[in-house]
Structure 1
């Protein structure tokens, strides 16, 4: 993808649909700054919304960001294991279904 508008439109679409719509936090576990190259390499957690019981469901990726100067970035690349993301998402959905079934059995309205 090239250009701010193209990237903006893509991320808006991607993050408004499942599972992106339920990924609400992206904390950095660690980062390395290579000032000479203008690069930042980091591990980012993709954390799902709390299913209303305080449990945490997340998976990480590694990102490479390249600084372009003047407060702008020229490049971003994510590296992740799709199988790990799939396992996390399946576990998250099973967990939500279990909570919903427990709420239904107890007569508690779902959030």
Structure 2
């Protein structure tokens, strides 16, 4: 049973590492702040979830599970909202968009 738990822990750690790595790569490689904000919000949210689930399976107590669940819920709510607010502030501040941007709903007038 210990081997199975270790494999589950390793799986969740690898999932968390994958999302964190892709997020860091996106922050470095994407062309403008809006796309970088997308990478900076999605990767850590999912990466942290994988790492916290690995901690829950590794430690295996209800207390750790409850704390991890609270943190996951908070991060799933706070991180996208914070990124959205940063993108709105950059838009209002006139931060330039990538010239390859296809759709831009922010320039449409309110109907």
Scaled by the length of structure 1, the TM-score of the pair is: 0.36
**Larger relative helix fraction:** 2
Q: Which structure would you say has the larger RCO, counting Cα contacts within 8 Å and 6 or more residues apart? A: 2
Scaled by the length of structure 2, the TM-score of the pair is: 0.36
